[in-house]
Amino acid sequence: MSTLAVEELDDRVVVTLRRPRARNAINAAMIAELHDVCASLEERPRLLLITGDGGTFAAGADIGELRERGREQALQGINSRLFDRVAKLPMPTVAAVDGYALGGGAELAYACDVRLATPTAVFGNPEPGLGILAAAGACWRLRELVGASIAKQVLLAGTRLDADAALRFGLVAEVVPAGELLKRAHTLLDRMARSGSLALRLTKLVADGGGHPLTDDLAQAILFESEEKRVRMDAFLAGGRS
């Protein structure tokens, strides 16, 4: 991996975006490497933590590469397909954001299930300033996360959400000092990891699908028949706690 540091643990994978000289801008190599990470997580589902190196999450798609792209590349949805893949990973994902998460960097964070931030975190979608739109999820995912009014301020007025604003609007779950960011993210992942893994997977699947009484019942039917449910409930009733 030339643009990522990847740490594989038993129950989670930690990915650090690492192109320090370009503020971790997302280029084709990083896209390919993130696809490799997704493939591995689809094959063997684990939690995912994504963070950025050097005090920046990611300053967007690589503008040098974007400049050369035309209609065909736009229609390929180079970034949006990756971020959709990230959003659909089987197990929960957490973005730990320190510093700038702009453009595609913000969209990658929006695609994760939970975001944590440091006081210097800044989310924004300055794409119109470059003559393009934020086409990798911001136009709809950000609206789902913070509502139309705030999303339109970000998308149309170039408003940047600092850590306080991101917390206030519910975009991030928590703001923690930079030195504690990864520890807090791991604590959150530890909590997730203590849940039943199939229960987590199905909850994510059902919740991301918008929920429906039928899918809720079908997913629950699978879980009610699982050995893990029996073991966990037996442990609870016996006085243990899972």
Which residues contact ligand COA by CB under 6 A? 22-23, 25, 59-64, 66, 100, 102-104, 126-127, 130
Nearer to ligand COA, 133 or 233 (CB): 133
Please state the separation of Cα 135 from the chain's center in Å.
Answer: 16
Nearest residue to 132 via CA among 37, 50, 41, 68 = 68
- Nearest distance in Å: CB 174, ligand COA: 23
Asked about 144 being catalytic, the answer comes back as: no
> What residue has token string 């300055």?
126
Is residue 72 annotated as a catalytic residue, yes or no? no
Strands (E), 9-67: 12-17, 47-52
**Cβ nearer to ligand COA, comparing 63 with 182:** 63
How far apart are alpha carbons 3 and 81 in whole angstroms? 19
CB of 144 to ligand COA, least distance (A): 20
For 211, how many CA atoms within 13 A lie in the half-sphere containing its CB? 2
Considering the complex, state which of residue 113 and residue 127 has its C-beta at the smaller distance from ligand COA.
127
* Token pair recorded at residue 174: 């928590």
Rounded Cα distance, 48 and 197, in Å: 13
Smallest distance from ligand COA to CB 102, Å: 4
Shortest approach of ligand COA to residue 169 CB, angstroms? 20
Given the residues 107, 144, 180, 225, select the one marked as catalytic. 107
Identify which of residues 90 and 104 has a Cβ nearer to ligand COA in the complex. 104
Active site residues: 107, 127
